[in-house]
Structure 1
């Protein structure tokens, strides 16, 4: 089934990810030239969990072994620290040689700030091998500014045993059923949801999905153009987030909880202390890395439909990840990105269960039944929305995260959330 990819990249301003190095040291060695000069590549990414942490380090070693003139220095940071450090350095007018990106509005701002290399010509030979959906977040005005390493969607990862304990025979298909199941879990003495309240970005998934289901994808796209998030449908999305929060479904101390730490969101689910989490396709890997792991008790279901909403239940929300190259990076940086996304190298990452296919023909490498379910849903998705904190300009995306966190924490109303996001959007040119 054909997917219509709806990326809200109406953003056009600066910020987001970038960072340090800004070009390799010494002369840029050519694979065709005589004596290649020594080159140091600064590579920034946020794969702190296994198996990608080790797999990406292995890739770098392999590349250096094949290219003795190249030294790769990796900076590996957890999500929030990564965003913060890259934003700071980007604002100083620099970018690392190779850096992880989610694409969308954040990448577009970096492009507009002349910090990112246009890869179109140098990757033209490999572009036909990527799926259209995977590439779309990194392409603007017919040009390519990054290559994808992952694609996926956000949904609910749940503990089948705890659902059974609460008498829930099958995952909820509608939002009303979902709220009813929250009550059933609580009645059974089970904490329904784990949430990394401290990090904010996991909480924005709830508001974003509810806005998609209630207002529809076109409304999210139009809101970025009109700079208006105060319409009744966006307020209604906030009201449903409040309805959920009012049920007190989250683990004790969630406001101070991180995502991937031993006492964070992923571990809370992995160790059987909460029934579910709303998270992306990487959730099983992070759960195993930070906790005991649920094994066959782990299941997946998509975000429920909202009765009477304008959005389709088959519209997906999420994104993947990719690699971009700093404007002043040496040519080896582009070569390394191509090496990372080469079929044999990337398929190993797919087989590990850490990422989903971005190359045509990798589908059979997905062996985990839950990830196969995610891949199947993606293949049948009627629409696709990039994470709002990446799709919109950084200041707008950050306001979404901040305001939704305040809504969940009880210090902002649904109306105030919509107004706060609108006010920031209006300041963006």
Structure 2
């Protein structure tokens, strides 16, 4: 196990370190609290790494921890250590590579979580989970994402996060535009904005995962989910026509001016994409549904101008256009502690799904993965997102969360190059497939 742990963490470390130069360019001036290297706490301290550096997420983390301290007769104190999103994975893996890891930490499930588990830095919580109220509270789909080899390793919380298109209703009305239901209609809408000097999409692609949303949605609308599943298990390939199509569309849309100048140098964490929306220099943004809370926090007045629609399907295609890209849970809390400390950390994590917290998150624009949450929603955008979630035949987890880290990085790198126009769709597919083949070969050794 020790040899396997080292090899897995080494692979993770190489992956995240390859992105250091990129994430370093998108720093937004973190506080000392956000850059602390503190990992595991002492005997009575539980250190909790998370990405709650900005409101409204910070308020959610703080409230859950406060509820734990106030309602639980415990000897443990939970210390929140927020880390900026773009550098979070890097810091977590570097800590693990040093044989350290916080007592509690958030992740996004999928391939990276599985490797944390295999490396010994996430403990099974199946018994604790089944003896709690969580089975009756949480959506089964979110629990499935927290499960690995029949054991539960994380507590899903925070949000049902799906990618979709936020748009400026006033700008659509100004140019007599209807919400598009096909990709062809979306292109006509985008062409109208370009003709009038407006950037169709507010994209900040320095972190790469933002641009990946376009690739994932386009590939799913062209080929469904089967080509992706086949490429991952080795029976298919990331050189399938649906991935070539996605790359071709990104190149075409970049050439037509659908994205801002210098798109690959713009920071999502610094809010540069949202600023384009607020300044009305861009009309739409394909992004995760967490934008509901962010925009409401930034500007409740501007939020009144915003609408939302799912990524449209291909005209005349028989591919299921109800498929959504995202997560049923968004953030997951895993644990690197044992015995009484593990029980205490788990108890803190359960606070996120209690009624008081669920109400607080809904009021903050979140859709926590709890049963019956749709009955609590009043915001029309959030209700539309949840309707799409409920109507979806299936939900594809973000590629960079589902795939093994090295393969995910190859995808992110090649996707960003497509937006920069420095690679062809065929070359991007070849890089993606090569990384997948290398991983499958190494995993058999």
Q: Residue 179 of structure 1 corresponds to which residue in structure 2?
A: 187
Instruction: Give the direction of change, closer, same or farther, for the CA distance of 1:180–1:171 in structure 2 (3 Å limit).
Output: same
Q: Residue 23 of structure 2 corresponds to which residue in structure 1?
A: none
CA drift of 1:189 comes to 2.2
Pairing partner for 1:46 from 40, 46, 51: 51
Distance 1:327 1:424 in 2: 33
The farther-off stretch of 207-216 and 269-278 is 269-278
User: Is 1:326 aligned to residue 336 of structure 2?
Assistant: yes
Q: Which structure features the higher share of helix residues?
A: 2
Q: Deviations over 1:368-425 (max 9, x none)?
A: 1101000011011111100000010111112111111100110111011111111111
Instruction: Give the direction of change, closer, same or farther, for the CA distance of 1:64–1:291 in structure 2 (3 Å limit).
Output: same
Q: Secondary structure at the match of 2:199?
A: coil
User: Is 1:202 aligned to residue 205 of structure 2?
Assistant: no
CA drift of 1:129 comes to 2.1
Q: Residue 31 of structure 2 corresponds to which residue in structure 1?
A: none
Q: Residue 343 of structure 1 corresponds to which residue in structure 2?
A: 355
Instruction: Give the direction of change, closer, same or farther, for the CA distance of 1:142–1:343 in structure 2 (3 Å limit).
Output: farther
CA drift of 1:265 comes to 0.8
CA drift of 1:267 comes to 2.4
Whether the 8 Å CA contact 1:152–1:375 is kept in 2: the answer is: no
Distance 1:145 1:177 in 2: 43
Distance 2:373 2:192 in 1: 40
Q: Residue 414 of structure 1 corresponds to which residue in structure 2?
A: 425
Whether the 8 Å CA contact 1:396–1:421 is kept in 2: the answer is: yes
TM-score normalised per structure 2 = 0.85
Instruction: Give the direction of change, closer, same or farther, for the CA distance of 1:114–1:325 in structure 2 (3 Å limit).
Output: same
Distance 2:353 2:245 in 1: 41
TM-score normalised per structure 1 = 0.88
The farther-off stretch of 130-139 and 335-344 is 335-344
Q: Residue 32 of structure 1 corresponds to which residue in structure 2?
A: none
Distance 1:421 1:91 in 2: 26
Q: Residue 244 of structure 2 corresponds to which residue in structure 1?
A: 235
Q: Deviations over 1:92-122 (max 9, x none)?
A: 3432211111111111111111210101000
Distance 2:297 2:258 in 1: 24
Whether the 8 Å CA contact 1:399–1:421 is kept in 2: the answer is: yes
Q: Give matches, 1:159-178, under 5 Å.
A: 159-168=168-177, 170-178=178-186
Q: Residue 70 of structure 1 corresponds to which residue in structure 2?
A: 76
The farther-off stretch of 101-110 and 405-414 is 101-110
Whether the 8 Å CA contact 1:260–1:290 is kept in 2: the answer is: no
User: Is 1:285 aligned to residue 293 of structure 2?
Assistant: yes
Aligned residues: 403
Distance 1:341 1:97 in 2: 20
Instruction: Give the direction of change, closer, same or farther, for the CA distance of 1:309–1:388 in structure 2 (3 Å limit).
Output: farther
Instruction: Give the direction of change, closer, same or farther, for the CA distance of 1:229–1:309 in structure 2 (3 Å limit).
Output: farther
CA drift of 1:223 comes to 0.7
Whether the 8 Å CA contact 2:200–2:259 is kept in 1: the answer is: yes
Distance 2:413 2:381 in 1: 31
Pairing partner for 2:325 from 313, 317, 335: 317
Distance 1:281 1:248 in 2: 25
- Over the aligned positions, Cα root-mean-square deviation in angstroms equals 2.4
Q: Residue 135 of structure 1 corresponds to which residue in structure 2?
A: 143
Q: Specify every segment of 5 or more residues in structure 1 that has no aligned partner in the other structure, as ranges.
A: 1-11, 27-38
CA drift of 1:293 comes to 5.5
Distance 1:200 1:310 in 2: 30
Q: Residue 62 of structure 2 corresponds to which residue in structure 1?
A: 57
Q: Deviations over 1:123-149 (max 9, x none)?
A: 103223211122221112221111111
Q: Give matches, 1:216-295, under 5 Å.
A: 216-226=224-234, 228-262=237-271, 264-290=272-298, 294-295=302-303
User: Is 1:97 aligned to residue 103 of structure 2?
Assistant: yes
Pairing partner for 2:167 from 158, 182, 186: 158
